[in-house]
Copies of this chain bind each other. A is one copy, B any other.
């Protein structure tokens, strides 16, 4: 593990050094049992450490998602009964008016919508209104 810069990041994260160590060893393919032996503790304890680490990673993701939505330079309301295939044109038009560059082309955006807004769309038609957030980095989010 690197020293220097990284120590600073570790100190200012929601992961403990032990949690990081366990995640690293898991990534290398070790079982919880094997990690328990290396760290001189029980498998149940490793399981708990891993669980808490993953919960904190999930909470960190949600934290940034909320922050990115708050900071979004453009939020577009997608209304009921719109044809899903028309959404990219709506978004590109508004982004263009605001001088914002989006990281997707039409096809990529349709894929993104298909994957991330499926709970709002049925048979190509918007069944429940939703918002598309155009983020500062040109990415999209849906909420």
Binding site for B on A (CB under 8 A): 2, 5-6, 9-10, 12-15, 20, 23-24, 27, 56-67, 70-71, 131, 143
Contacts and interface: CB of A to CB of B under 8 A. Distances in A.
B65 A23 contact: no
Contacts of A143: 2, 5-6
A22 to B, nearest CB: 10
B13 A63 contact: yes
Copy number in this complex? 2
A33 to B, nearest CB: 20
A32 to B, nearest CB: 16
Contacts of A57: 63-64, 67
Given A14-B60, A20-B70, 10 more contacts: A9-B62, A9-B66, A12-B62, A13-B65, A14-B14, A24-B70, A27-B70, A57-B64, A57-B67, A59-B60
A63 B15 contact: yes
B66 A20 contact: yes
Contacts of A63: 13-15, 56-57, 60
A66 B131 contact: no
A66 B24 CA distance: 10
A13 B62 contact: yes
B59 A13 contact: yes
A102 to B, nearest CB: 15
Contacts of A9: 62, 65-66
